[in-house]
Amino acid sequence: MRIVLALVVLLAACHDDSRANDVARVRAHLERVERELRAEPMTPARAIVLDELHRYIEAEDYPTNHGGRLYTPIFVDEDGARCAMAALIEASGEHALVERVARDHNYAYIPELAADAELGRWLAAHDLTLAEAARIQPGYSNIGESRYVPTASIVGTITGGTEDGDSALLFGAGVRVGIRRITETTGACDRCFHKSVALVAEYTRSAVSSHGTTASTNQLGLALSYEPAHNMREFQWYLFAGGLVSIDESSAPGSGFGGQLGVGFSFRTTKKPLFGELVASTIEREQGRGINGGVQLGVVW
């Protein structure tokens, strides 16, 4: 029981340290912005806002973001704590405006609200520009999660190039299986992100037309693909690279070892799990070097 209590105390202390660090970061940001804004020409309305900002900084009642990794804004958090801009607007009596923005755009950056007429009116009435409001708005620590899922694809390929100095055409079909590590935001947010890394093994049965003959070949590959972070677009692009082994059933063009690299785009996260790739490969065969480039199309899960 003592061990359990000690672990609870330790975890609580770690959480408190993390929260204290984030509060210190946000306070330092707001203090710097307050100094910068006070250095600009002052009007009575502007002075009232900056005095209110100073009181907000001293209170240190900053929100906590439970949305996703990276630093993102949050207008009002789950416990009702206001961000700096929300607090300034509410202090002027505009409760309805704060509630509407929190409901519709709780994780939005101020520049993304440039078309909001009510916000524009409030800024004009208090002698602040949209750019200054954006400077006031800090980001808050955002949490994401990673998970591992199986992945599989059916792929068709058409490439052209050279085999032992002669022109060649390669076409075929194959399958890929592997594991994908997905990292994405865990909560609701205006700027959700999604990225992945996948390790896949590939088998392709291909026909190689070269030297006036056509021969079949079995091609094995192991590739790593990297999909950079994006904001849940309709499709996403990725890079991939890996090794190849060609096992031919005849001496021409012959078995060998090589590698491939390329760039692709995928609709994997939509209801249309299609992908397309531009690929380049080279294989050192018994009868000479093969260099090819072309397209690959398929379905991915």
24 and 96 in a single domain? The answer is yes
**Cα R_g (the chain), whole angstroms:** 28
pLDDT above 60: residue 196: yes
> What's the CA dihedral at 19, 20, 24, 30 to 10 degrees?
50
Is 123 found in the same domain as 30? yes
Q: Would you say the pTM of this structure is higher than 0.85?
A: no
pLDDT in tens, 236-282: 889 999 998 888 766 666 778 899 999 998 887 777 889 999 999 88
Residue 23 and residue 105 in one domain: yes
Residue 214, CA atoms < 13 Å, CB-side half-sphere: 6
Is a pLDDT exceeding 50 seen at residue 2? no
Between 72 and 104, the higher pLDDT residue: 104
- Higher-scoring residue by pLDDT: 28, 262: 262
245 and 157 inside one domain: yes
Integer distance in angstroms from the first to the last C-alpha of the chain?
46
Residue pair 298/272 in contact by the 8 Å Cβ criterion: no
Same domain, 152 and 264: yes
- Amino acid symbol at 121: R
Quote the pLDDT of residue 50. Answer: 94
> Quick check: 183 and 142 in contact, CB under 8 A?
no
Say whether both 242 and 131 belong to one domain.
no
**What pLDDT score was predicted for residue 67?**
56
pLDDT over 60 (residue 211)? yes
pLDDT digits (tens, 9 = 90+) for 101-122: 999 998 888 888 999 999 999 9
Phi-psi region for residue 218, left (φ > 0), alpha (ψ -120 to 50) or beta? Answer: beta
Residue 81's domain spans which residues?
2-141
pLDDT of residue 10: 35
Band the pLDDT of 148: cuts 50, 70, 90.
very high
Q: Are residues 115 and 18 in the same domain?
A: yes
pLDDT-derived band at 214 (thresholds 50, 70, 90) equals confident
Domain count, the chain: 2
Which of 124, 141, 158 finishes a domain?
141
CB 46: neighbour CB atoms within 10 A?
17
Whether residues 136 and 219 fall in one domain:
no
Average pLDDT, the chain: 81
Q: What is the CATH number of the domain that holds 201?
A: 2.40.160.20
CB 26 within 8 A of CB 140: yes
Q: What is the DSSP letter of 76?
A: B
Greater model confidence, 190 or 172: 172
Residue 38's pLDDT band (cuts 50, 70, 90):
very high
Strand partners, 278: 263, 295
Mean pLDDT of 150-154: 94
**Residues 154 and 111 both lie in one domain:** no
**Domain boundary residue among 106, 141, 176?**
141
Q: At which of 112, 141, 170 does a domain end? A: 141
